[in-house]
Amino acid sequence: MTAAIAALCTTMALAGCGGTGGAAEVTLQLVAADYGTNSENSSSKYWKALAAEFESNNPGIKIDVDVRPWKTIDADVAERVANGDAPDIAQIGSYSQYAKAGKLYNADQLLSVPSQANFLSQLSEAGKVNRVQYGMPFVASTRLLFYNKDLFEQAGLTDAPKNWDDIKEDAQALKEQGVTTPIAIPLGSEEAQGETLMWLLAGGGGYTDTADGSYNIDSQQNIDTFDWLRKDLVGEGLTGPVAPGKLDRATAFKAFTSGEVGMLNGHPSLMQDASKSGIKVGMVALPGAKGKAKSSMGVSDWMMAFKENNHRREIGRFLDYVYEDTNVLNFAGLYDLLPVTYSASEEMTADDNHADLRKFLEALPTSELLPYGKNSWSTVSDSIKKNIGQAVEPGGSASSVLGRIARDAATAEAAE
């Protein structure tokens, strides 16, 4: 029986086995991103409630919650790390730079076997550096092509586009009906790297070579994709009054919920905002040039644990609790995001209350994620944000712009 209890202690998340007992209290510092849009739905409420529940079951461990806005959190954590004041746990957008600097615990050192094995496989793989998992996925999402059903109906359109010819023809029909922005292509600095990957995948390309994972940014497929966007959409006046390189995602989303945009690529939380605004939404996978695209884009945000304060056991216990199904589903449900574990995904799929997320859930297992595991990715992402909009400007050259980004990627890789 003693052996059985000892075995259970290695896999259970809650206190009661090998707890801190009379040891000095440990306070874990958690820095997490805010997914809310106002004080009423701030993520701070979720984390503080979760921390209180955990603390009540784990005497001797306290959780200090610090929720930061997405615009600053990556820089905030980087500054703390540089100053020798790393938090115990950070829930942010990227992990690889800290893993390669030797500052993180790996998942094997933290999580119980059931918790770690429950992550969706492609998310676990995306969390690895040199085949070791340091980034633990926290929430995920995929992207679909959203369209305004009322605007489509007014333009005499009865079906969602099935290929790129359809996208162009539908956008032209919307323009003829006076729609301000028939199709929005936000390539501004906010999330140009995401919008770009969506179109590259639809065109049969992507950022990396599927065989060896090396960058393949200026491939002919990618060049052809952006030549088409420049010539057939932007050049035909179908992308609205703001140049794609100047258009941020948040601005495009707001215009969609205001009824000014016919089509755009969107993530799950846009459904809720559109519904509140009375917009009837249709959603399909962004089609490829001749039909179905090879895959959709997936996105994950990451949990990581820093070694600096030597709180490995306490961090592991808390993270096992974070990844219990109830907690995973509660957070995902709050913000119309997708759970990152098999068991929670299956439960959400079966729940009719989340029926509107099923298309996104179906797309996740075969989606392609941004190259999070590359330490060079932050540099490459910055280059995409600064340059990609020029590829679709009048007189622009996709070959030249993608070549410039590819050279930046090569330089960043060489500096590894």
Tell me, yes or no, whether 184 and 269 share the same domain: yes
Tell me, yes or no, whether 285 and 317 share the same domain: no
Asked, for residue 118, whether it belongs to a domain, the answer is yes
Asked, for residue 14, whether it belongs to a domain, the answer is no
* CATH code for the domain of 47: 3.40.190.10
Tell me, yes or no, whether 267 and 358 share the same domain: no
How high is the pLDDT of residue 19?
41
Cα–Cα dist 125/135, whole Å: 9
Cross-strand bridge partners of residue 146: 264, 283
Tell me, yes or no, whether 190 and 55 share the same domain: no
Q: Is the overall model pTM greater than 0.85, yes or no?
A: no
How high is the pLDDT of residue 362?
86
Tell me, yes or no, whether 50 and 119 share the same domain: yes
- The token pair that represents 155 in the structure block: 């333009």
* pLDDT tens figures, 269-303: 898 889 999 999 999 999 999 999 988 899 899 99
- Does residue 7 carry a pLDDT above 50? no
* Confidence grade of residue 188 (pLDDT, cut at 50, 70, 90): very high
Q: How many domains does the chain have?
A: 2
Cα–Cα dist 65/46, whole Å: 10
Tell me, yes or no, whether 202 and 244 share the same domain: yes
* Confidence grade of residue 6 (pLDDT, cut at 50, 70, 90): very low
The per-residue b/e assignment along 108-118, b for 16 or more CB within 10 angstroms, e otherwise, is eebbbeebbeb
- Does residue 2 carry a pLDDT above 80? no
* pLDDT tens figures, 60-118: 999 999 999 987 898 899 999 999 999 999 999 889 889 989 999 999 999 999 999 99
CA dihedral 209, 409, 196, 359 (to 10 degrees): 50
- The token pair that represents 70 in the structure block: 């997405």
Asked, for residue 120, whether it belongs to a domain, the answer is yes
Percent of the chain with pLDDT over 90: 75
Asked, for residue 223, whether it belongs to a domain, the answer is yes
Tell me, yes or no, whether 288 and 162 share the same domain: yes
How high is the pLDDT of residue 23?
52
Q: What are the C-alpha distances in Å from 84 to residues 54, 59, 80, 308, 375?
A: 27, 28, 6, 8, 20
* pLDDT tens figures, 352-387: 988 889 889 888 888 899 998 888 888 898 899 999
Asked, for residue 46, whether it belongs to a domain, the answer is yes
One-letter amino acid for residue 175 of the chain: K
Q: What are the C-alpha distances in Å from 168 to residues 162, 164, 225, 287, 319?
A: 11, 6, 14, 12, 47
* Confidence grade of residue 24 (pLDDT, cut at 50, 70, 90): low
The per-residue b/e assignment along 198-218, b for 16 or more CB within 10 angstroms, e otherwise, is bbbbbbbbbbbeeeeeebbbb
- Does residue 13 carry a pLDDT above 70? no
Tell me, yes or no, whether 207 and 310 share the same domain: no
Alpha helices (runs of H) in 157-297, residue ranges in sequence order? 164-176, 192-202, 220-228, 249-257, 269-276
- Give SS3 for 278: coil
Tell me, yes or no, whether 282 and 306 share the same domain: no
Tell me, yes or no, whether 334 and 386 share the same domain: no
Percent of the chain with pLDDT over 70: 94
Residues in the chain: 416
The string of DSSP codes covering 233-269 is IITTT-S-SS-GGG--HHHHHHHHHTT-EEEEEE-TH
Q: Phi and psi of 202, rounded to 5°?
A: -60, -30
Tell me, yes or no, whether 126 and 212 share the same domain: no
Q: Whole domain around residue 45: which residue ranges?
A: 22-141+299-368
Of 226, 188, 152, give the one whose Cα is nearest residue 396.
226
Average pLDDT value over all residues in the chain: 91
How high is the pLDDT of residue 17?
40
One-letter amino acid for residue 380 of the chain: V
Tell me, yes or no, whether 47 and 94 share the same domain: yes
Asked, for residue 16, whether it belongs to a domain, the answer is no
Pairing of strands 61-69, 26-34: parallel
